[in-house]
Structure 1
Amino acid sequence: MISIKNLKSTKKRALATIGFITIAGLAVYYIGDLKKQNFLYSSDSDYRIVSGEAMFTETFTTVEDLAENADIIAEAEVISQENNANYERLDVYTVSELRLTKVYKGDVEIDDTVSVLETGGEFDEREVAKYFAGKPGSKLVNDDLGEPRITSVGIEGSIPMKEGNKYFVFLTEDKDDVYNIVGSVQGKIKINDENTLVSQVSPEVIEHSNLYFLQENYSGQNISELRNEVEHLIASSPN
């Protein structure tokens, strides 16, 4: 038989548990809301952005996952880049030359440069029309093409890095000394002049995509938080 005293004690414990769960839930909600308030977004494009589609073999949801799959982890500045458009296939890719300013992982040193290839970039729609104007059956002539119409193409809304910008990057070696972003678009985030991390993917895209762990969790935060996490992972890695 449960005594009145024990029953009251049980109720107190239950109420305390409910209170703790409520407080914990509010804390999670508050922290999540605070991150949204701090979120920084800069598209870094003066042109309309067209989202290209791609098949992703893996979605990364932790810094540890990104780090494990990276050959190089570094902070870097884009010192030059080249857009390469293929008008026949209506696609474009960008090769950026990065100067490493801080290295966390990889057989590289500060001030080394690496070439990074990304799908996407800028192209002039007028050049596409000009290309097809020369094809049999086309009724277009060069005089009909009008003013330049520049478009930015980004995989899932993530445009390639921009010359002059600084980034925190997770890179994987491809071939011929060219690197790719880990997860295609997932392993990079911009660093502004105040050492704050900035998303180049809009909040609307992030809300409907599971690709942008870095942007969702670190945009608006000081870079020290990501630095500390990566340094801890590297220090504790058995390799």
Structure 2
Amino acid sequence: MKKGLILLSIGAILLGSVMVVSASSSVFTTNTGTKATKKATEEKDLGIITVEAHSDIVRFYPDIRSLTKDSDIVIEGDVMNASTKYYKDRVAPSTLSQVKVSRVISGDVKIGDVLTFQETGGITTQRYISESSGRGKDFPPLSEAEENKQVDFKIDGISAMKKGEKVMLFGGRYQEGIYLIVGGYQGKFKVDDEQIERPAPKGDEAVYPALKMSLSSLESEVKSFKK
């Protein structure tokens, strides 16, 4: 399977200061150069700050055929747990999610298996964002409450998986026991009853296919392309 690199180069306005940061992380079948504006907004209902990094996707997956071609597994599952993972010298955190398989459409896994998926982005804190982005001494220090404030680090307006979500995933083997989502977030679908939908990246809704369909239609397409 192919593996690529996603590079984040971010100019940010956050916590009342201006920061220029950079980071890199491996992402399955994606080669991305990004220049982004990272902005913080309050989500009033949850009290979580949202930080957005905008990417330029080099490898584009416009349909089920292309996603199927590069996937090792296609599964429906429930997110049982999600934890944040950090890398030295990377501003973007990663999320490790344990997904319990409820339906197998393709691949050598079975119902009941718990698979680990790694994504770029996820829930972190203002302290991590401040430290990893090189916030200088010229700015007032954060209070303890500000440091512990939760931050949802999104890529193109799309969050990493969270506990309790039901998802359809096109995955590829990455390391022993870990899968990556094909094309970053492009192989991730939300499940609502018997319908699935792929969220469109923020700002690209007009040109990026949302791919909304029934689970049965997706299953038929995937199986026809895997023959």
Q: TM-score range by the shorter chain?
A: 0.5 to 0.7
Per the alignment, residue 205 of structure 1 pairs with: 203
- Distance in 1 separating the partners of 2:138 and 2:86: 21
- Distance in 1 separating the partners of 2:133 and 2:166: 37
Per the alignment, residue 162 of structure 2 pairs with: 162
- Distance in 1 separating the partners of 2:173 and 2:133: 35
Q: Which of the two has greater helix per residue?
A: 1
| Deviation per residue, 1:176-198 (Å, 9 max, x gap) | 22110000110010102x22224
- Distance in 2 separating the partners of 1:112 and 1:81: 16
Check 1:140–1:74 CA distance in 2 against 1; reply closer, same or farther (3 A cut).
Answer: same
Partner SS state of residue 185, structure 2: coil
Per the alignment, residue 223 of structure 1 pairs with: 215
Q: TM-score, normalised by structure 1?
A: 0.64
How far residue 102 of structure 1 moved from its aligned partner, in angstroms, is 1.0
Query: Would you say 1:153 and 2:153 are equivalent positions?
Result: yes
Check 1:226–1:132 CA distance in 2 against 1; reply closer, same or farther (3 A cut).
Answer: closer
Contact 2:94–2:121, Cα closer than 8 Å, also in 1: yes
Q: TM-score, normalised by structure 2?
A: 0.67
- Distance in 1 separating the partners of 2:157 and 2:141: 33
- Distance in 2 separating the partners of 1:232 and 1:205: 32
- Distance in 1 separating the partners of 2:169 and 2:139: 46
- Distance in 2 separating the partners of 1:130 and 1:50: 15
Runs of 4+ in 1 over 6 A off after TM superposition: 130-133
- Which structure is richer in relative contact order (CA contacts within 8 A, separation 6 or more)? 1
- Distance in 1 separating the partners of 2:50 and 2:137: 30
- Distance in 2 separating the partners of 1:131 and 1:61: 33
How far residue 128 of structure 1 moved from its aligned partner, in angstroms, is 4.2
Per the alignment, residue 190 of structure 2 pairs with: 190
| Deviation per residue, 1:211-233 (Å, 9 max, x gap) | xx3xx231xx4322222222333
- Distance in 1 separating the partners of 2:222 and 2:120: 26
Check 1:129–1:119 CA distance in 2 against 1; reply closer, same or farther (3 A cut).
Answer: closer
Check 1:130–1:119 CA distance in 2 against 1; reply closer, same or farther (3 A cut).
Answer: closer
Contact 1:132–1:138, Cα closer than 8 Å, also in 2: no
User: Structure 2 matches for 1:56-135, cutoff 5 A?
Assistant: 56-85=57-86, 89-129=90-130
Task: Give unpaired runs (5+ residues) of structure 1.
Answer: 1-42
Paired-residue identity, %: 23
The structure with the larger Rg is 1
Q: Which of the two has greater strand per residue?
A: 2
Check 1:231–1:70 CA distance in 2 against 1; reply closer, same or farther (3 A cut).
Answer: same
Partner SS state of residue 107, structure 1: coil
